[in-house]
Structure 1
């Protein structure tokens, strides 16, 4: 949510809450389709969904895709020059020298893990320690306290400590 809200707030800042409706907002066809499908689903339940409702309903994949490259060197569809450089880099004020490509790769891996969990698929072969570290670091890029708050209430470290025992023995004795 922190990443989603940071990206949305940065794209809306000084423009319009529904920044995706602005003529200068150009999205790749797949990304526009995700946005349009999300709005259509909302409109079946809500006559006129607010921008906040649209933002909340958009999948995490939509937000991570805004950090992809788009179509490089295309004056309208290069996400590097249309989104990252002029705006989205500011969504991560505590990420000194942060590179869009690295952030996109890390968020994609986080999204893939999240999706595997949501579909009750195994994640034990994924680099869980790395992903945990990435989540914490990226949260810290958004807000200085976000990483500390997440780490303070997270049980992930405890669960990861039990991982090897569970894999080896089929159960955890902790």
Structure 2
């Protein structure tokens, strides 16, 4: 299959990587090339909304837990084993950059989207969600588990985007709507600002429109 693709593309991106796009387009090299570039463009367009969701989430959760346990709340709150490892890793990264005394804000910035989403998992329901974290979503009245599942699906999307993996096979329209829905639970004002800059609807329209060639 891959021999139909340009040599420069095979050398730049690798045959195993490009074969996934060939399979998605039934072996049509021209369509696979267009799909590859569309995947790059779609990932770039999703980056902005995902960026805002991740940063807003971590600040909302950090602020709420910090009100109860202090700025370095991870030292006072009994995180599970994985949570403690992630905090320790975040601190090490800060120390490796020459920080002698690591401020809480630096640790917050180093902790992953997955870490913050995990604070809404079932294991923390009674210790975090019920007493504290439901207040981080003032415009949400549903169940914690539904919120967690939605966030975790976007953690997986974010990881694919950031690691340059295919996202074209996902229901990206639903993913995009989900990002805004979750942001709206925290800050409806921010939603309006992001939408004014969001390129993703036009990118998606080029794939789903009548002139789509992949």
- Say whether the fold is shared (TM-score over 0.5): yes
Q: Which residue number corresponds to residue 136 of structure 2?
A: 91
Counterpart-to-counterpart distance in 2, 1:14 and 1:62: 19
Q: Which has the higher contact order (CA 8 A, sep 6+)?
A: 2
User: Corresponding residue for 1:33?
Assistant: 85
Q: Which has more radius of gyration? A: 2
Aligned to 2:125: 80
Question: How far is 1:49 from its partner?
Answer: 1.2
Write the distance in 2 (CA, Å) between the matches of 1:143 and 1:169. Answer: 38
Two-structure CA RMSD over aligned residues (Å)? 1.7
Are the structure 2 counterparts of residues 50 and 5 from structure 1 closer, same or farther at C-alpha, using a change threshold of 3 Å?
Answer: same
Equivalent residues of 2:206, 2:212 under 8 A apart:
no
- Residue 89 of structure 1 deviates from its aligned partner by 0.4
Task: Report which of the two has the higher share of helix.
Answer: 2
Q: 1:136, 1:150 within 8 Å by CA — same for their partners in 2?
A: no
Q: Residues 87 and 111 of structure 2 are in contact (CA less than 8 Å); yes or no, is this contact kept in structure 1?
A: yes
Distance 2:191 2:205 in 1: 20
CA distance in 2, matches of 1:168, 1:14: 53
Runs of 4+ in 1 over 4 A off after TM superposition: 165-168
Q: C-alpha distance in 2, partners of 1:37/1:167? A: 48
Aligned to 2:186: 142
Q: Which ranges in structure 2 are unaligned for 5 or more consecutive residues?
A: 1-54
Which runs of 5 or more structure 1 residues have no equivalent in the other structure?
A: 71-78
Query: Structure 1 92/18 Cα, relative in aligned 2: closer, same or farther at 3 Å?
Result: same
- Normalised TM-score (structure 1): 0.86
Alignment of 1:121-136 (within 5 A): 121-136=165-180
Q: What is the TM-score of this pair, normalised by structure 2? A: 0.70
Distance 1:51 1:29 in 2: 20
CA positional deviation for 1:53:
0.6
C-alpha separation between the residues in 1 aligned to 2:148 and 2:69? 24
Structure 1 counterpart SS, 2:69: coil
1:112 positional shift: 0.7
Q: Distance in 1 between matches of 2:131 and 2:185?
A: 17
Q: Which moved more, 1:38-47 or 1:53-62?
A: 38-47
Shift of 1:37: 1.1
Closer/same/farther in 2, CA of residues 167 and 37 from structure 1, 3 Å limit: farther
